[in-house]
């Protein structure tokens, strides 16, 4: 019987790069709660997706010499592949480039405009491209160097016509809602931060852009595209059929939980609720802002070279060890550091030792004393009752902690029960019982109880792990039972049928030698020719090069030509972009190049550069660009343009 619906979301991730372990963290947490609620009998809806518009993505695509849609298609495919590897069971993957989403976002914008909540004005201020955020002069005034108050990167001065959303009009209503609904923003410390932010005064929000065109056009003014956050946040309602599938929308909205990192909590607890209020829709029941997963060297970033790739970890340690580690190691809500040492430590102690041994010992004894057939239980003794009670207590505590998203504590409770079950073996000493034929029934009871305890453990693990519960089931001969187990079934002792045959298998979590692992990683680094990837176990050697090879025909589609720079100047309002006029032999072209921090305009004049001449035109920062200059750059941030070795006529083709 359905207990009602449960709707949980992750942020929709930017397809500007591959995802890292931090993104996996949010998604695994959301997936776990969705699996847990489904086991409890809720009709769940679990949404994730990709946030595909915006200037940053347009620039990235340009740098990669691709059309934005082509560029994001490839990255989105890598998102889906990662989620599959991580055992993520989303119900829907929304892409903001979907037709239905685009239409509904336009309808939302139109409605807000028609009712006077959006109005046209002029924006002057600082803009952070990576964050896609405007800052007022006041917000950045104290700093000597103009940097983004959020991410610390460079910002640009911009002046443009823009549509504004009347955030200020709804501030009081929002504050009241937050006060009346303590569960709305969690954890509590973050709620207080949000309240102070709102109390310090909300300014109307600029919700359109004219400086680039990779976005959803404002329906009644197509020179403007809709601000990426209005586009992105709306995904939570467009995906479930707002304005398109009324019945489905009514069924799931309001969402039970938006799970987000603390970095984007403000968007979700201020802008989003105000959009919903303006649309006259109920607000989500909870927005939970979890902490950051850091590394020993701080925040993960490409330039620091400390980005942890979940795909490599899954290949090295298996999906369940990673899922377990992510949810067990750091209290959900707090910041915490990822470390491979801690991961290996957890695998060895919690997974191989506590859980793996319990399974192994139990199956070995069923084999040894009962020819591999699970015996029926006989009369119950005190110690058996205690084991049963510990199971009920554990389930109650897991429930309580899952409600509060305290994954760490929920797992701790489960492990207390696993250790208690190991202790049960030491208390009942089956090897001594086995020596006495008269104790056969007692021995049968002990082993039956151990198998039951393992069934409950495997069932409780189902939301957290995706392979282990079934591997345990297979070895215990109860795979189907585990597969069908609902949460309530865990509360009823005695579900395993006597007479089932067990099947000893490989250890579910082999121990990992820390030193050996790091030695292998070192070796891997030395061996790793560019394009080659090897897992720690050295089993699979995959040549990325082979996968990435392109045919000559594909290459020959790219028209690279020599061009001479005639003029080069900075684009006003940007310190990264230069506008170039070049001579391509048969024609003159205008290009925009993101090399302003590495070259002055005058350095380039007269230079013969290489450019992609058949790239579709794009508008960057409001300036038309008809081609792309080629440049080499490295991780240290150095960038040099490509030129020719000797003089050659303008327009010569490079092949
Ligand atoms: N596209 C926006 C979200 C729009 S939602 C309507 C965005 N995307 S993102 O790709 O940058 O993803 C941000 C989210 O990824 C964070 O909120 C968090 O959930 C997750 N994380 C990214 N790095 C992280 C860590 N290092 N640690 C924990 N979570 C992190 O923002």
pLDDT at 142: 65
Does the beta carbon of 263 lie inside 6 Å of ligand 1?
Answer: yes
Give the residue-averaged pLDDT of 130-159.
79
Residue 236 alpha carbon, nearest atom of ligand 1: 6
Q: Is there a contact between 280 and 242 (Cβ–Cβ < 8 Å)? A: no
Whether 85 maps to a domain, the answer reads no
What mean pLDDT do residues 198-215 have? 93
Q: Are 453 and 391 in contact (CB under 8 A)?
A: yes
Tell me the two tokens of residue 11: 């942020």
| Domain shared by 363 and 485, yes or no | yes
pLDDT at 147: 85
Same domain, 437 and 565: no
Q: Are 486 and 359 part of one and the same domain?
A: yes
- Angle at 186 (CA atoms; ends 181, 187), nearest 5 degrees: 135
477 shares a domain with 405? yes
Residue 261 Cα to ligand 1 midpoint, Å, equals 6
> What CATH number does residue 625 fall under?
2.40.50.140
540 and 636 inside one domain: yes
Ligand 1 contacts CB of residue 370 (under 6 A): no
Condensed to tens digits (0 to 9), the pLDDT of residues 372-426 reads 999 999 999 999 999 999 999 999 999 999 999 999 999 999 999 999 999 999 9
d(CA 263, ligand 1 centre) in Å: 7
Q: Read off the pLDDT band of 298 (50, 70, 90).
A: confident
Same domain, 485 and 343: yes
Asked if residue 225 belongs to a domain, the reply is no
**Residue 293 C-alpha to ligand 1 middle, in angstroms?**
11
Angle between helices 319-329 and 310-317 (to 10 degrees): 120
| Same-domain pairing of 546 and 458 | no
Report the relative pairing of strands 560-570 and 578-583 from DSSP bridges: antiparallel
Q: What tens digit of pLDDT does each residue of 554-565 get?
A: 788 899 999 999
Q: Which atom of ligand 1 lies nearest, measured to the CA of 11?
A: 5
Can you give 309-373 as a three-state secondary structure string? CHHHHHHHHCHHHHHHHHHHHCCECECEECCHHHHHHHHHHHHHHHHHHHHHHHHHHHHHHHCCE
Instruction: Answer yes or no: is pLDDT of 300 > 90.
Output: no
Mutating to test ligand 1, I would choose from 23, 236, 266, 327 the residue with most ligand atoms within 8 A of its C-beta, which is 23
Pick the last residue of a domain from 491, 516, 546.
491
Q: How far apart are CA 548 and CA 542, in angstroms?
A: 12
Q: What is the DSSP letter of 487?
A: G
Instruction: Please indicate, yes or no, whether residues 462 and 538 belong to a single structural domain of this protein.
Output: no
- State whether the beta carbon of 155 lies less than 6 angstroms from ligand 1: no
C-beta of 275 in contact with ligand 1 (< 6 A):
no
- Collapsing DSSP to helix, strand or coil, 432 comes out as helix
Q: Final residue of a domain: which of 437, 464, 491?
A: 491
Find, among 73, 71, 94, the residue nearest to 10 by Cα: 94
Cβ burial, residue 556 (10 Å; 0-12/13-18/19+): exposed
Residue 534: CB atoms within 10 Å = 20
Q: Does residue 229 have its Cβ closer than 6 Å to ligand 1?
A: no
Condensed to tens digits (0 to 9), the pLDDT of residues 48-95 reads 999 999 999 999 999 999 999 999 999 999 999 999 999 999 999 999
Residue 43 pairs in a beta bridge with: 5
Q: Which DSSP helix (H) or strand (E) runs through 162? A: strand 156-165
Tally of structural domains, the chain: 2
Higher-confidence residue of 624 and 350: namely: 350
CB 232 less than 6 A from any atom of ligand 1: yes
Atom of ligand 1 nearest to the CA of 263: 17
Asked if residue 57 has its Cβ within 6 Å of ligand 1, the reply is no
For position 541, what pLDDT does the model report?
34
Q: Does residue 25's CB lie within 6 angstroms of at least one atom of ligand 1?
A: yes
If DSSP codes are grouped into helix, strand and coil, which group holds residue 450? helix
Ligand 1 center from residue 184 Cα (angstroms)? 20
Closest ligand 1 atom to residue 16 Cα is 10
Cα 299 to averaged position of ligand 1 atoms, centre (Å):
13
What distance in angstroms lies between residue 516's CA and the mean position of ligand 1's atoms? Answer: 34
pLDDT at 136 over 90: no
Q: Is the CB of 470 under 6 A from ligand 1?
A: no
pLDDT given at position 532: 45
Greater confidence, 141 or 650? 650
- What are 643's strand-pairing partners? 609
Which of 26, 79, 332, 335 has most ligand 1 atoms within 8 Å of CB, for mutation? 26
In a domain, 383, yes or no: yes
d(CA 572, CA 82): 41
Report the mean per-residue pLDDT for the chain: 92
The reported pLDDT for the residue numbered 597 is: 82
Work out the angle between the directed axes of helices 382-403 and 440-461 (0-180°, nearest 10): 0
512: three-class secondary structure by DSSP: coil
Residue 500 CB contacts under 8 Å (≥ 6 apart), including other chains: 373, 374, 476, 477, 478
Query: Distance (Å, rounded) from C-alpha 126 to C-alpha 364?
Result: 68
Q: Final residue of a domain: which of 491, 524, 544?
A: 491
- Which residue minimizes the CA distance to atom 23 of ligand 1? 22
Predicted pLDDT of residue 555: 84
pLDDT in tens, 564-616: 999 999 887 677 788 999 999 888 999 988 888 888 888 899 999 999 999 88
Question: Is 380 part of any domain?
Answer: yes
Closest-lying ligand 1 atom to the alpha carbon of residue 13: 10
Band of the pLDDT at 538, cuts 50, 70, 90? very low
Query: Which residues have CB under 8 Å from 309's CB, separation 6+?
Result: 18, 20, 21
Instruction: Give me ligand 1 centre to Cα 17, in Å.
Output: 12
Helix (H, G, I), strand (E, B) or coil at 388: helix
Q: Are 236 and 9 in contact (CB under 8 A)?
A: yes
150 CB near ligand 1 (under 6 Å): no
Please work out whether the CB of residue 261 comes within 6 Å of at least one atom of ligand 1.
Answer: yes
Contacts 24+ apart (CB under 8 A), 136-142: 136/203
- In-domain check, residue 648: yes
How many Å lie between the centroid of ligand 1 and the Cα of residue 19?
Answer: 9
Q: Is residue 292 in contact with ligand 1, taking CB distance under 6 Å? A: yes
Q: Do the Cβ atoms of 570 and 596 come closer than 8 Å?
A: yes
pLDDT for residue 630 is more than 50: yes
Rounded mean pLDDT, 474-496? 98
If you average pLDDT over residues 200-223, what whole number do you get? Answer: 94
Nearest-atom number in ligand 1 for the CA of 233 is 6
pLDDT at 371 over 60: yes
Tokens of 295: 């590394």
Mean pLDDT calculated for residue range 167-190: 96
Query: Same domain for 344 and 468?
Result: yes
**Ligand 1 atom closest to 268 (CA):** 6
Does some domain include residue 190?
no
Do the domain assignments include residue 4?
no
- Could you tell me where the DSSP H helices lie in 214-283? 228-233, 235-238, 246-252, 265-266, 272-278
Do residues 483 and 547 both lie within one domain?
no
**Residues counted in the chain:** 655
Whether this prediction's pTM lies above 0.85 is answered by no
pLDDT at 407: 98
Domain containing residue 599: 532-654
CATH code, 352: 1.10.730.10
Query: Is it the case that residue 457 has pLDDT exceeding 90?
Result: yes
Structure confidence by residue, pLDDT tens digits, 16-40 = 999 999 999 999 999 999 999 999 9
Q: How many A from CA of 278 to the centre of ligand 1?
A: 26
Q: Is the CB of 95 under 6 A from ligand 1?
A: no
Mutate to test the pocket of ligand 1, among 27, 263, 267 (most ligand atoms within 8 A of CB): 263
What percentage of the chain has pLDDT greater than the value 90?
78
Residue 311: is its pLDDT beyond 90?
A: yes
Residues whose CB is less than 8 angstroms from the CB of residue 642 and which lie 6 or more positions away in sequence, other chains included = 609, 610, 630, 631, 632
The closest residue, in CA terms, to atom 19 on ligand 1 is 261
User: Which residue minimizes the CA distance to atom 10 of ligand 1?
Assistant: 13
Locate the ligand 1 atom nearest the alpha carbon of residue 299 and give its number.
26
- Same domain membership, residue 544 and residue 455: no
Residues 411 and 465 in one domain: yes
With respect to residue 587, please indicate whether it lies within any of the assigned structural domains.
yes
How many angstroms separate the alpha carbon of residue 22 from the centre of ligand 1?
7
Residue 303: its pLDDT value, please? Answer: 75
CB distance 284 to ligand 1 below 6 Å: no
Supply φ then ψ for residue 67, to 5 degrees: -70, 145
Q: What is the mean pLDDT of residues 169-195?
A: 96
């Amino acid at each position: 019987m359905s207990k009602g619906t449960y709707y949980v979301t992750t942020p929709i991730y930017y397809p500007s790069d591959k995802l890292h372990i931090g993104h996996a963290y949010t998604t695994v947490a959301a997936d776990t709660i969705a699996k847990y609620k489904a086991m409890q009998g809720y009709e769940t809806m679990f949404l994730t997706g990709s946030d595909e518009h915006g200037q940053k993505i347009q620039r990235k695509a340009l740098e990669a010499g691709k059309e934005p849609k082509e560029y994001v298609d490839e990255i989105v495919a890598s998102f889906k592949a990662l989620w599959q590897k991580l055992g993520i069971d989303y119900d829907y993957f929304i892409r903001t480039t979907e037709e239905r989403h685009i239409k509904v976002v336009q309808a939302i914008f139109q409605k807000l405009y028609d009712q006077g909540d959006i109005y046209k004005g002029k924006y002057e201020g600082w803009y952070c491209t990576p964050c896609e955020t405007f800052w007022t002069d006041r917000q950045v005034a104290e700093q000597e160097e103009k940097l983004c108050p959020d991410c610390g990167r460079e910002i640009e001065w911009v002046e443009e016509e823009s549509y504004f959303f009347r955030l200020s009009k709804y501030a009081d209503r929002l504050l009241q809602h937050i006060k009346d609904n303590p569960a709305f923003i969690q954890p509590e410390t973050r709620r207080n931060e949000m309240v102070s932010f709102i109390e310090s005064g909300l300014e109307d929000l600029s919700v359109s852009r004219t400086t680039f065109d990779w976005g959803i056009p404002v329906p009644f003014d197509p020179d403007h595209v809709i601000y990426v956050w209005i586009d992105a946040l709306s995904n939570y309602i467009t995906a479930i059929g707002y304005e398109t599938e009324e019945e489905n929308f009514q069924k799931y909205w309001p969402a039970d939980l938006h799970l987000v990192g603390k970095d984007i909590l403000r968007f979700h607890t201020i802008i989003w609720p105000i959009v919903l209020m303006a649309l006259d829709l109920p607000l989500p029941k909870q927005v939970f802002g979890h902490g950051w997963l850091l590394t020993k060297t701080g925040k993960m970033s490409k330039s620091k070279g400390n980005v942890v790739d979940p795909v490599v970890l899954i290949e090295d340690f298996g999906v369940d060890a990673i899922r377990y580690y992510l949810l067990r190691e750091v209290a959900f809500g707090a910041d915490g550091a990822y470390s491979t040492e801690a991961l290996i430590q957890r695998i060895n102690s919690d997974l191989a030792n506590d859980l793996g041994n319990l399974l192994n010992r139990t199956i070995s004894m069923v084999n040894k004393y009962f020819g591999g057939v699970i015996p029926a239980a006989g009369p119950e003794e005190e110690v058996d009752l205690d084991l049963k009670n510990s199971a009920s207590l554990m389930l109650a505590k897991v429930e309580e902690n899952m409600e509060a998203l305290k994954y760490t504590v929920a797992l701790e409770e489960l492990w207390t029960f696993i250790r208690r079950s190991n202790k049960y073996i030491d208390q009942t000493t089956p090897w001594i019982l086995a020596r006495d034929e008269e104790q056969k029934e007692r021995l049968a009871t002990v082993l039956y109880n151990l198998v039951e305890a393992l069934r409950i453990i495997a069932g409780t693990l189902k939301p957290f792990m995706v392979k282990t519960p079934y591997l345990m089931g297979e070895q215990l001969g109860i795979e189907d039972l585990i597969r069908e187990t609902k949460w309530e079934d865990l509360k009823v002792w005695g579900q395993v049928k006597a007479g089932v045959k067990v099947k000893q298998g490989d250890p579910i979590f082999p121990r990992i030698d820390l030193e050996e692992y790091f030695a292998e990683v070192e070796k891997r680094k030395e061996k790793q020719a560019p394009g080659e990837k090897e897992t720690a176990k050295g089993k699979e050697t995959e040549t990325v090069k082979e996968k990435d090879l392109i045919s000559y025909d594909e290459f020959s589609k790219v028209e690279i030509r020599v061009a001479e720079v005639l003029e080069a100047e900075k684009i006003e309002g940007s310190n990264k972009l230069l506008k170039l006029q070049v001579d391509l032999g048969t024609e003159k072209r205008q290009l925009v190049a993101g090399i302003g921090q590495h070259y002055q305009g005058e350095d380039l004049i007269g230079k013969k550069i290489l450019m992609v001449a058949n790239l579709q035109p794009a508008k960057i920062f409001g300036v038309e660009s008809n081609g792309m200059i080629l440049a080499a750059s490295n991780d240290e941030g150095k960038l040099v343009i490509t030129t020719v070795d000797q003089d050659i006529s303008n327009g010569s083709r490079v092949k």
